[in-house]
Amino acid sequence: MIINQTGPIVENFYSIGHPAIPVYLMDGVSPIIFDAGFTFLGELYVADIKKIIGDRQVEYLFLTHSHFDHCGSVSILKQHFPLMKVVTSKTAKNILGRPNAIQLIKALNQASETIVADIGMELTSFDKFTPFEIDETVKDNDILKVSAGLNIRILETPGHTADCLSYYIQKQKILISSEAAGQSDRTGYIVSDCLYDYDQYFNSLKRLSLLDIKILCPGHLFVYTGDDAKKYLKASMIECERFRELVERCLVEEDQDLERVKIRIKHIEYDHFDGPKQPEPAYLLNLEARIKAVAKRMNNTCNRKESVLKVN
């Protein structure tokens, strides 16, 4: 099944807030949540969580990576759940300790308030993003025993970013991959989100596809269950190779001109799509990083001394 709304997914596991930018809640003896969305949705996340857990505390918040749309409301959540421990990778902790990263996260969250109407929402939090403490860092293959029967396996899945973690809830076979598994738009096209490194991204995808998964949460819009979860990961790998081949072909045909390659790929994967969709400047920024990741790989495989890419 492909689920495109918030609410219960299986017993005790919920998508919270808004399907485009959800927080995932695993309820139990010790409720835990995954990711923290946009700042302006903070109060909505809190209200939805409280509807389910009542007066109890959230024990852990697990962040998949330090992108602004995954950590935007940590401080708001922490105000309401002061005992909540925030968990990230060591790399994410380093990034979130840099003043320029904090400035960027704050600015992007503020800029995102303009999409509120597009996603059929009203502003719920007028708070601005503020930095937060990270209580614990985890690494690949750590198993965090949250409570009896609730174990979380940590997988380092770099490629989308350097700091990406995926979380695997062992008993229920739930994988919170975030964009390490790519991102489907509303047409079903899977955007290969290899912003940081193409080969690392593909290898992370391959690793995730070998897990026994019943529920897959790629972080935006959709949750996949049963066969659809397996199908999605397979399709994401195929799409990833297809994207690489497309970029490689365009780089050759456009004489490695980055701007011309961007226009061609944008035409294929963005222009035709009515939306609501990512704002164009954000899409173009990400597209450039994805093209550069493929170009870097071409450089390495060709063993060229000079970059294949022309940047004007």
Minimal distance in Å, beta carbon 156 to Zn ion? 15
- Applying the rule CB under 5 A, the residues between 247 and 286 that interact with Zn ion are none
* SS3 of residue 293 by DSSP: helix
Residue whose CB is less far from Zn ion, 16 or 180: 180
The yes or no reply on residue 179 touching Zn ion (CB under 5 A) is yes
Minimal distance in Å, beta carbon 178 to Zn ion? 7
Minimal distance in Å, beta carbon 67 to Zn ion? 4
CA distances from 58 to 135, 215, 271, 276 (A): 14, 22, 41, 32
Stretch that binds Zn ion, among 75-83, 100-108, 176-184, 267-275 (CB under 5 A): 176-184
Mask 66-85, x = binds Zn ion (CB under 5 A)?
A: -x------------------
Minimal distance in Å, beta carbon 160 to Zn ion? 6
- d(Cα 156, Cα 164) in Å, to the nearest integer? 6
Maximum pairwise Cα distance, the chain? 61
Mask 50-69, x = binds Zn ion (CB under 5 A)?
A: -----------------x--
Minimal distance in Å, beta carbon 128 to Zn ion? 21
| Residue 65 φ then ψ, to 5° | -165, 175
| Residue 217 φ then ψ, to 5° | -120, 95
Which ranges in the chain belong to alpha helices (H)?
A: 42-53, 68-71, 74-80, 90-96, 99-112, 198-209, 227-253, 258-266, 280-302
Q: Kindly list the residues in this chain that would bind Zn ion in the complex (CB under 5 A).
A: 67, 179
